[in-house]
């Protein structure tokens, strides 16, 4: 089943931010909190291993906030323009491919659709209007 959520990127403060939002909205995390140290094949410095690779928090009306920490060791820089993404979880690869093809026209920041280690067929791009999109399916 498809869903839309908001994906937030943080400069090492994802857990602090999501804990604040959890307490503010009186909700709870959805599923496990995944740290970079939990990811097979991802080698990061010791000071980044405990940072969040992925976490989900339900807020109002079932809307999900998802979050990750950006890693300095991988050259990530959190800034306005890459700190928030509209995340679409879609029903199949064809829909991921169709939307990616249209949204990535003129994009200067993108990752083409590919099968990821966490199990999703996934892509992302910054569209020509400056909006970041994440497209994925199981």
pTM for this entry? 0.80
pLDDT classification of 105: cutoffs 50, 70, 90? very high
Task: Answer whether CATH 3.10.180.10 is correct for domain 3-137.
Answer: yes
**Average confidence score pLDDT of the chain:** 93
Q: Residues 69, 75, 77, 82: what is their CA dihedral angle, to the nearest 10 degrees?
A: -80
Lookup: tokens for 22: 């959890």
- At 33-77, the pLDDT tens digits run 999 999 888 889 999 999 999 999 999 888 999 999 999 998 999
């Amino acid at each position: 089943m498809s869903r839309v959520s908001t994906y937030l990127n943080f400069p090492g403060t994802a857990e602090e931010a999501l804990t604040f939002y959890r307490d503010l909205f009186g909700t709870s995390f959805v599923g496990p909190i995944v740290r970079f140290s939990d990811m097979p094949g991802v080698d990061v410095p010791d000071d980044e291993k405990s940072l969040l690779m992925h976490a989900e928090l339900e807020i109002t009306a079932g809307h999900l906030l998802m979050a990750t920490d950006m890693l300095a060791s991988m050259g990530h820089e959190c800034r306005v323009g890459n700190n928030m993404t509209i995340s679409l979880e879609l029903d199949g690869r064809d829909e991921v491919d169709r939307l990616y093809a249209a949204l990535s026209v003129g994009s200067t920041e993108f990752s083409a659709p590919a099968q990821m280690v966490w199990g999703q067929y996934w892509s992302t791009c910054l569209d020509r209007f400056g909006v970041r999109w994440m497209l994925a399916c199981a």
